[in-house]
Amino acid sequence: MIYTLTLNPAIDYRMNTQKIIHGDTNRALSEELSFGGKGINVSKVLKNLGIESKALGFCAGFTGAALVSHLDECGINNDFVELCGGNTRINVKLCDGQNCETEINACGPKVSEDEKNILFDKIKNTVSDGDTLILSGSVPSGMGGETYACIIELVKDKNIRIVVDAQGELLLNTLRHKPFLVKPNLSELCGIVGKDLSTPDEIAGGAKKLRELGARNVLVSLGADGALLADENGIITSVCSHKGDAINTVGAGDSMVAGFVAGADEGYEYALRLANACGGATAFSVGLAEKECVEKLLKTKNA
C-alpha cells in the first residue's frame, strides 16, 4: 500500500478578477474551490493512474470535514486525525486577469502533543513491510523541522520506501535515514546546497550532494526545463519538459512524485519518464494529471 501524509492540508479558494485595486472593494468574475495539500495531490494522481493509496494527516473544523467528504467522494481511502481546535486552512489566491496571482496562505490549526502522538501511533501501527510512505509539504504549528525524521524513526525497523517532498530542515533532517526518494525543485536544491545552480553539471552536482548526505534517489523538478534524476546506482539522467501550453502548474511537482512512485518497480529510467509525463499532464490541464493525458505524453519523443 502507498500512504501519503499531509499534515497541513488546505482548501484553496481562487478568485479571478479583471483587476485588483488595493484598498478598495473588488468583485470576482469567477471563483474556484480546490481541496488539497501536497500528499493529497499525490493520492489524487495515483487514483487517476489506477493505483490505490491511503491519505493520512490532520483535519480540523468544518473545513476539515469538507476536505474528508471530498476525498470520500473521489474514492480516495483516508484516515485523518481530527483536531480539537481550529479549522483546516483556507488559502486565498487572487488572480487579476494579467497572469499575476497573489497568494495568501493561512497558517492552519495548532497541533497538541496528544494529537501528534495519535497520528504517530496510527502510522507506526498501520504502515508495514513493503509499503511506501510519502511525506509531503509543510507542517502545522506545534511541529518542527524534525517532524518527518521522527516519523521515519517510527518505521525504521520495517522494509518501507520513504519518499520526502519538503523544504529546508524538514528534508535535510531525513537524509540520515536514507530515504528512498527526495524531490526538491531547483530553488529548494539551491537553498539546501547553499549556492545558485544553473548549468546541468551544477544541478547534477547538487543532486549528488543530497545522495552523499543519504538520499538513495534524488529527483529534481526543473519546471520548463524538465527534470533530473540522480539514482542510487550513480547514474544521472535528464529529461526535457513536454511541449505544450501550461495552464496550471499547481500540483505539477506532486504529480511527478506520484509518477515516480508508480513507475519505480519498472526501473528508474521509466519512473523518471512517467514522473515527467505526470508533471506535464498536470501543467497542461485545469486539474491534476489524468491517465489519458499521461499516456499520450509518454508516447511523445521527449518522454
Write out pLDDT tens, residues 6-45.
999 999 888 888 888 888 888 888 888 889 899 999 999 9
Place of cell 493561512: 106
Whether 121 is a known active-site residue: answer: no
Nearest to 61 by CA among 106, 122, 94: 106
Nearest to 80 by CA among 48, 104, 109: 109
- Indicate whether 101 pLDDT > 80: no
> Which entry of 157, 196, 254, 265 is annotated as an active-site residue?
254
Q: What was the pLDDT predicted at 133?
A: 98
Name residues whose C-beta falls within 8 Å of residue 158's C-beta, 6 or more positions apart in sequence. Answer: 127, 128, 129, 131
Start and end residues for every CATH 3.40.1190.20 domain found in the chain: 1-159, 180-303
Element (H, E) at 193: helix 186-193
Q: What is the pLDDT of residues 38-88, one digit of tens each?
A: 999 999 999 999 999 999 999 999 999 999 999 999 999 999 999 999 999
| Global confidence as pTM | 0.92
- Fold adopted by 180-303: UDP-N-acetylmuramoyl-L-alanine:D-glutamate ligase (3.40.1190)
Q: What is the pLDDT of residues 205-221, one digit of tens each?
A: 999 999 999 999 999 99
β-sheet with 30-36: strand ranges across: 30-36, 10-16, 89-95, 101-104
Q: What was the pLDDT predicted at 19?
A: 83
Is domain 1-159 classified as CATH 3.40.1190.20?
A: yes
DSSP structure string for 22-62:
TTS----SEEEEEEE-HHHHHHHHHHHTT--EEEEEEEEHH
45-to-34, 123, 181 alpha-carbon distances in Å: 14, 22, 18
